[in-house]
A and B are shown apart, each in its own frame.
Chain A
C-alpha cells in the first residue's frame, strides 16, 4: 500500500509573527511562522490590508524568528531558529518577492532537542551579533560583519554555555555601539549531589543574566546574574544609545520591572480585571515595540486579551518612572505587531486573526493607568475598542478538535464539519469546497438574457480604464447600462437596442463594436455609427481590439481587421462546410500587431485552430477531436505565473460539462498536453475575466468555477455561488477585479476574495471548547459535547458579571470579545448541544451542573428498544487533570425527543468512561482500564461482560468492525479484541509493538487501521493474516491467545505506512470530498490544516512518484536547511508514503531545473505537472 500525502488547506494558526522592513526601508511587512510554513505579508500602501507576498512550506519546524539589521543597512533580514540544527539568515528579494538564504550555519544535531539551540533567537539591535539558544545549557553567539564587497560574513559560533540551566527567554539589549549584550532569563537546577540545588529542594530561583560579547577578545562573558521574580517570562529590550535609556523590561506575573545595568530598577503593577480571582497571576503573552524618532512605547498583551501600553519617563539615561496603561481588549494572541503606518496585526492563539487600525496612542486616556510611583492595583473591566478600530479578520480553523465529513445538508457534495477553537472563541465551522464570493450588486432584469458584456471607457496610454457600459442581450432586444455612481439604463450609447446582440466589444480606435444577427455596427458615438450588413444571418462572433471574426449560418467564416487608418476591413472569408458552434480569438500579445490564432468549435465534434497571419490567412493549423461530445464554448486565453512562463491555452467547454485545457504552441499552433476537468452536469460555458492581475477563466456549468494563477500556482476552484448562465469581467473604481453574472433573470456583480483558499466557511459560535461530536442518524443533526476546564459555567459567569456591575460598559461585550476569567484548577463548565446542520441553528443546549464534565458520547440503539436511538454520555464529576482523579463518574442515557434531550437514567461508573461505542444492541464502554459490554436496563445500564486482561492506563477510543473490537489505550496504541458469544468473554489477540499516544484512529478495512498520534505522526497498521484463521474457532485458540506473547497479545500489528505530518492531527476519517471524487484519508490538525492521504492504486504511479520525490529532495532544499527525509522520519522512519507537498514544489522550480529533472525521469515537464495535477484533481 502506498499513500500520497497532500495538504489541502495549510495550517492557518500562527506560531509567531514579527514586524520588519524586509523588501525596502519603508516597506511595512510581517514575517509569519505557521509552524511548518513561513509567510511574508505586506501592508497595502493605501488600505493597510495585509497581502501575502510569499508563502513557502519549509519542511521543518520553525521554532523562533527574529529580525536582524546589519549596521547601516536599510532593511531587515529574518533569522530563524528551527529543528534543523542550523541557523539561517534570509533576505527578501524586492523584485521577485522570494526569500533567499544569505547564510546557513550548522551547529548541532537536528530535531527539537533539549540542548540543541533553536528554541530562542535574539539579535543585537545594532546588527553586530546574534544569539541562538537551546532550552537547556547551550547558547551560541555569532558575530556578523561585512567583507570588502559589503556582503554579510558570519563568524564561527562562540559558546556561552551554562550547564544545568533552563532558559526561559532571551533578548538582545540596545547598548549603542558598546560591546553587544544579551539578557537571558534562566533557572539553574544545580547538581543533584548538592543538597541545596534546585533539583533537590524544588525551589528554583529565576535569574536575569547578562551576557556580553567582547568584540575585542572575541569571547562571550557571563557578566552578571541577578535573582528576579520566578514568574518572569518575557524580556523586552528598551531602545538605547541615542534613542532612549536602554536596559530591559521584564514581564512577570502581575508586575512589570525595568532594569538597567548596573543599578536602575523600577516596577509597576498591571491594571487588573475586577472579576479576576486574586490567586491567579496575570501573565503576559507577547509584546510589540513601537519606535519612532522622538517616541517609543510598548504594547504588551495578556492571556486574557487585554493590551496595555507601557511607557517610560526618562531623562537622558535615567529612567524616572514606568507606567502601564490599559489600552484596549482584543482576543488572546500569540504575537502582536505594530506597523509604523498605524496598524496592529493580532495573530490569534486560536481562531481568526485580525488587523486593527490605531485611532489614538492612548493619550488623554485615563481609563486605567498604574505607575511605578504607587504600588496600588488599579481595577478595570474591558470596554469597547477605543484606541484601535477593527478593520478585518482572516479566517483560521486553528485547533480543530474534531471533524466529520458527510453530506448532511444534502447538497450533492459532502461538507466538512470542523470543531475549532478554545473557550468562548470556539466555533463549529462548516467548510464547503469553493471560493467565497462577495456580492456587490443584484438587480432584476425585464427578461431572460442570453448574453452579457462589459465595455471599457476606452484605451488610454498609461491609465487604468474602467468599464463604461454593460450590454445585456435578450432574445429580441438589448439593454445598455451605463456605469457611473449608479448603474442606470442609457439611451444615447449608439447601440441598436431593437434586437438581440451576439457580441459586443471595444476596438483599439476607441469605437464600440456591436454584432447583431443582421450585421455589424462600429460605434464611435451616438451620431457616428458605421453599419455593415452581413450577406446572411450572423450566428457566432468574437473580437479583440483589432480583429473581428464571425460566422454566418451555414458555416461561412468572415474575418475583419482594423487597418492602420482605424477602419475595419474584411481580411478573409472561408467556407467551413458545417455549422460553427462556438468561436474565440485570443487577445493580442504584448508587442504584436495581431493575435495569431482563431479557435472554432464545429458541429463534427472538433475544434479547429486557424491562422490569422496575413500569409495563409484562415488556414487550418491544427484540429482537436472531441470524443463523443459537442463543444459548447471555446476560449483562447494566455495564462501563466509570470510574463516569461505564460502560455496560450485553448479551453473548450463541452456539452457534457467537461472542460478541456490544451496548450497551443505560440509558433506552430500545434496542440499538446490536454487536461480534462469535470465541472458539472450542464454544458460548460467559458468567459474571460481578471484575477490577481492576470487573466482568468470563468467556467459555468451546474456550478460556477474559476481558473486562475495565484502565488505561482494554478487553481481551478468552484465558486460558492448560485448557478450562473452568463458571465463577464467587470471593473470599476470600487472593484477593479469583479465579475458580472446572469442567473435566471437577474444581473449580479460580484468579486472574489480569499484567493488561493479551497474552502469557504460558515461559522456557528459555541459556548465552550468543543470536544467531540456525533451525527444523530435519524434526522442527521449534530450532537456536540463542549467542556472547559478552569472555567465558570454560564450561570456562575452571569453572577460574576453582576458582582462587578459598577463597570457598566463591559456588559455590552460578549465573552468571545473579552475572554473569560479562569475559575481555578478542577472547575468545569460543560454542555451538550444539538445543532441542525442545514439551518445551523441550535435546537438544544443541555448544560451540565454540579462540576460535571462530558468526556464521551455515542448514539446507539439497544435490544428491546429497537425503534429508538439513544444518546449515551460519559461524564465525570470534579475531575482533576494532574494527577488524574475525580469524585464520581457516570454514564447517562438520554432519549432525544423533538430535538430535546430527556434523561432516561444515569449509572455510576468506577472510573472515567472516556470511550463509548455501540455494539449490536449493546454498548461497549471503556471504563478506565476496563473494557465492558453493557445492556440497557429500565433503571440503569447493566454490565454484561468485562475484559479479563486490563489495559495499561486508560481506554481512549473504541471502534467496532464485525466481531473485531479495536481499542486504543491513551498511551499504548491499538489492541484488537473479539467477543465470543458462547462464553460471553472478550479476548485480546493482537496489539502493537510501539506504544503510541494516539489521538484518533479509523478502521480502514477488516484488518487495517489508520491512526494519528500526539507526536504529529500518521500510521497505518494491519493485522497479520493468521488472525483470521484463528478467529474461526475461538474455543481452540483462546488458551493460546490468553497466554499471549512476551506478556502481551499473541499477535502483533504490522506496520504498513508511516508519515510525520508535522502538525498534530486530532481527527482522521475515510471519505470522498466531492461527489465522484476518490476516497481518501482526511485529517484535521490543531494548527487548522486539512490534509489527505490518497491511496496510489497504479504501480507505475508509485514508481514515478518515488523517483520524483527522490529528485525533489535534492532540488527543493528546505528554507531552514532541514533534510526532508529526516523531517518526515521525525520519530519513526517514513514508510510507503509519498510527500505530495514536496512533489508539488516541482512547479516552483526554475524551468532549467524542471527540464533536467524531467529528463532524468524520462518525461517532459508538462507530463510531470499534469500527473501532479491529476492527483490533486482526484480529490475534487
Chain B
C-alpha cells in the first residue's frame, strides 16, 4: 500500500515540476496544448527557424516571436465542453 502511495506521490511531484507531464486522465486537448506549446517554445528558441518563418509571413522576427508567445496562451482553442 505504502509503495503504491509513494509512486503516486512521485508522479504528482513530476507533474508539479514539469509542465506538460501527462497522466492517465490527460485529454486529447491537454496533450495537444502541451505539444503546441512545446513546439512554439522550440521555434522561438531557434533563431534560424524564426528567420525562415518570418520570411514566409514577411514579418519581423520580433513580431513573429510576440505572436507565437501569444499563441502559447491558447494554442488549441478553448477546452472541449465536458460531457
Q: Which residues of A come within 8 Å of B, CB atoms?
A: 11, 13, 15, 35, 61, 63, 83, 112-115, 118-119, 135-137, 163-164, 166, 168, 187, 189, 192, 198-202, 204, 230-231, 233, 283-286, 303, 332, 334, 349-350, 398-399, 401, 422-423, 769, 788-791, 822, 881, 999, 1014-1016, 1062-1064, 1066, 1085-1087
Give A791 to B55 CA distance when docked, in angstroms. 12
B19 within 8 A of partner (CB): yes
Write the chain A residue with the least CB distance to B42: A112
Give A1015 to B46 CA distance when docked, in angstroms. 9
Smallest CB–CB gap between A35 and chain B, Å? Answer: 5
Smallest CB–CB gap between A459 and chain B, Å? Answer: 52
User: Once the chains bind, are A334 and B73 in contact (CB under 8 Å)?
Assistant: no
Write the chain B residue with the least CB distance to A233: B66
State whether A136 and B48 are in contact (beta carbons under 8 Å apart), knowing that A114-B20, A192-B30 are contacts in the complex.
no
Smallest CB–CB gap between A701 and chain B, Å? Answer: 38
User: Once the chains bind, are B72 and A398 in contact (CB under 8 Å)?
Assistant: no
User: Once the chains bind, are B61 and A334 in contact (CB under 8 Å)?
Assistant: yes
Query: Most B CB atoms within 10 A — which of A198, A1062, A1086?
Result: A1086
- B18 partner residues in chain A, CB cutoff 8 A: 115
Interface of chain B, main secondary structure: helix
Write the chain A residue with the least CB distance to B75: A199
User: Once the chains bind, are B51 and A136 in contact (CB under 8 Å)?
Assistant: no
B31 within 8 A of partner (CB): no
Give A303 to B70 CA distance when docked, in angstroms. 18
User: Once the chains bind, are A788 and B78 in contact (CB under 8 Å)?
Assistant: no
State whether A166 and B72 are in contact (beta carbons under 8 Å apart), knowing that A399-B55, A881-B56 are contacts in the complex.
yes
Contacts beyond the supplied A13-B47, A187-B73, A1016-B46: 4 A-B pairs with Cβ under 8 Å: A112-B41, A192-B79, A999-B52, A1064-B46
Which among B20, B48, B56, B69 is the interface contact of A1085 at CB below 8 angstroms? B48
- Give 10 nearest A-B pairs by CB, closest first: A112-B45, A114-B41, A303-B60, A1086-B51, A15-B47, A1064-B48, A204-B73, A1063-B48, A189-B73, A790-B58
Smallest CB–CB gap between B26 and chain A, Å? Answer: 11
State whether A136 and B19 are in contact (beta carbons under 8 Å apart), knowing that A204-B73, A1066-B52 are contacts in the complex.
yes
Smallest CB–CB gap between B60 and chain A, Å? Answer: 4
Write the chain B residue with the least CB distance to A14: B47
Smallest CB–CB gap between A1068 and chain B, Å? Answer: 15
Which among B46, B56, B78 is the interface contact of A201 at CB below 8 angstroms? B78
User: Once the chains bind, are A114 and B37 in contact (CB under 8 Å)?
Assistant: yes
B25 within 8 A of partner (CB): no
State whether A1015 and B79 are in contact (beta carbons under 8 Å apart), knowing that A115-B19, A283-B66 are contacts in the complex.
no
User: Once the chains bind, are B56 and A136 in contact (CB under 8 Å)?
Assistant: no
- B70 partner residues in chain A, CB cutoff 8 A: 187, 204, 230
Which among B38, B55, B60 is the interface contact of A283 at CB below 8 angstroms? B60
Give A401 to B77 CA distance when docked, in angstroms. 33
User: Once the chains bind, are B19 and A1016 in contact (CB under 8 Å)?
Assistant: no
- A788 partner residues in chain B, CB cutoff 8 A: 58
B63 within 8 A of partner (CB): yes
Smallest CB–CB gap between A189 and chain B, Å? Answer: 5
Smallest CB–CB gap between A772 and chain B, Å? Answer: 13
Give A136 to B78 CA distance when docked, in angstroms. 19
User: Once the chains bind, are A769 and B58 in contact (CB under 8 Å)?
Assistant: yes
- B52 partner residues in chain A, CB cutoff 8 A: 399, 999, 1014, 1064, 1066, 1086
Give A350 to B44 CA distance when docked, in angstroms. 17
Give A61 to B48 CA distance when docked, in angstroms. 10
State whether A1014 and B74 are in contact (beta carbons under 8 Å apart), knowing that A114-B38, A423-B58 are contacts in the complex.
no
Give A957 to B23 CA distance when docked, in angstroms. 39
State whether A789 and B48 are in contact (beta carbons under 8 Å apart), knowing that A166-B73, A189-B72, A303-B62 are contacts in the complex.
no
User: Once the chains bind, are B79 and A199 in contact (CB under 8 Å)?
Assistant: yes
Write the chain A residue with the least CB distance to B72: A166
Smallest CB–CB gap between A876 and chain B, Å? Answer: 14
User: Once the chains bind, are B55 and A35 in contact (CB under 8 Å)?
Assistant: no
Give A790 to B45 CA distance when docked, in angstroms. 25
Give A788 to B49 CA distance when docked, in angstroms. 18
- B78 partner residues in chain A, CB cutoff 8 A: 199-202
Give A221 to B69 CA distance when docked, in angstroms. 24
State whether A113 and B38 are in contact (beta carbons under 8 Å apart), knowing that A201-B78, A1016-B49 are contacts in the complex.
yes
Which among B47, B49, B51, B74 is the interface contact of A189 at CB below 8 angstroms? B74
Give A15 to B44 CA distance when docked, in angstroms. 12
State whether A112 and B62 are in contact (beta carbons under 8 Å apart), knowing that A136-B72, A789-B57, A881-B57 are contacts in the complex.
no
Smallest CB–CB gap between A306 and chain B, Å? Answer: 12
User: Once the chains bind, are A791 and B58 in contact (CB under 8 Å)?
Assistant: yes
Which among A119, A285, A1015, A1016 is the interface contact of B62 at CB below 8 angstroms? A285
- B38 partner residues in chain A, CB cutoff 8 A: 113-114
State whether A83 and B62 are in contact (beta carbons under 8 Å apart), knowing that A135-B69, A166-B73, A199-B79 are contacts in the complex.
no
Write the chain B residue with the least CB distance to A302: B60
- B60 partner residues in chain A, CB cutoff 8 A: 283, 285, 303, 332, 349
Which among B46, B59, B69 is the interface contact of A61 at CB below 8 angstroms? B46
- A350 partner residues in chain B, CB cutoff 8 A: 51, 55
Give A187 to B66 CA distance when docked, in angstroms. 12
- B59 partner residues in chain A, CB cutoff 8 A: 303, 790, 822
Smallest CB–CB gap between B14 and chain A, Å? Answer: 13
Which among B37, B49, B57, B74 is the interface contact of A136 at CB below 8 angstroms? B37
**Can you list 6 contacts pairing A with B, beta carbon distance less than 8 Å?**
A13-B51, A61-B46, A114-B19, A189-B73, A284-B62, A1062-B48
Smallest CB–CB gap between A200 and chain B, Å? Answer: 5
Query: Most B CB atoms within 10 A — which of A35, A166, A189, A286?
Result: A166
State whether A1087 and B48 are in contact (beta carbons under 8 Å apart), knowing that A303-B60, A422-B55 are contacts in the complex.
yes
Which among A166, A769, A1062 is the interface contact of B55 at CB below 8 angstroms? A769
- B37 partner residues in chain A, CB cutoff 8 A: 114, 136
Give A982 to B64 CA distance when docked, in angstroms. 51
Give A1015 to B60 CA distance when docked, in angstroms. 20
Would you give the 0/1 interface string for B2-34, flagging 1 where the beta carbon is closer than 8 Å to chain A? 000000000000000011100000000010010
Which among A13, A112, A198, A401 is the interface contact of B46 at CB below 8 angstroms? A112
- B57 partner residues in chain A, CB cutoff 8 A: 789-790, 881
User: Once the chains bind, are A168 and B66 in contact (CB under 8 Å)?
Assistant: yes
Smallest CB–CB gap between A185 and chain B, Å? Answer: 9
- B42 partner residues in chain A, CB cutoff 8 A: 112-114
- A35 partner residues in chain B, CB cutoff 8 A: 47-48
State whether A401 and B41 are in contact (beta carbons under 8 Å apart), knowing that A114-B20, A199-B74, A286-B62 are contacts in the complex.
no
Which among A11, A135, A999, A1063 is the interface contact of B41 at CB below 8 angstroms? A135
Query: Most B CB atoms within 10 A — which of A114, A334, A422?
Result: A114
Smallest CB–CB gap between A1136 and chain B, Å? Answer: 23
Give A1085 to B33 CA distance when docked, in angstroms. 30
Which among A164, A422, A1015 is the interface contact of B54 at CB below 8 angstroms? A422
Smallest CB–CB gap between B23 and chain A, Å? Answer: 14
Which among B45, B56, B62 is the interface contact of A789 at CB below 8 angstroms? B56
- B20 partner residues in chain A, CB cutoff 8 A: 114-115
Give A189 to B71 CA distance when docked, in angstroms. 11
Give A423 to B72 CA distance when docked, in angstroms. 28
User: Once the chains bind, are A349 and B61 in contact (CB under 8 Å)?
Assistant: yes
Smallest CB–CB gap between B49 and chain A, Å? Answer: 5
- A13 partner residues in chain B, CB cutoff 8 A: 47-48, 51
User: Once the chains bind, are A399 and B30 in contact (CB under 8 Å)?
Assistant: no
Give A303 to B54 CA distance when docked, in angstroms. 12
State whether A401 and B55 are in contact (beta carbons under 8 Å apart), knowing that A115-B19, A285-B60 are contacts in the complex.
yes
User: Once the chains bind, are A199 and B33 in contact (CB under 8 Å)?
Assistant: yes
Give A119 to B47 CA distance when docked, in angstroms. 11
- A1014 partner residues in chain B, CB cutoff 8 A: 49, 52
- B30 partner residues in chain A, CB cutoff 8 A: 192
Write the chain B residue with the least CB distance to A286: B62
- A15 partner residues in chain B, CB cutoff 8 A: 47
Which among A198, A284, A422, A1064 is the interface contact of B58 at CB below 8 angstroms? A422
Write the chain A residue with the least CB distance to B82: A193
Write the chain A residue with the least CB distance to B29: A192
Give A13 to B52 CA distance when docked, in angstroms. 12
Smallest CB–CB gap between A738 and chain B, Å? Answer: 38
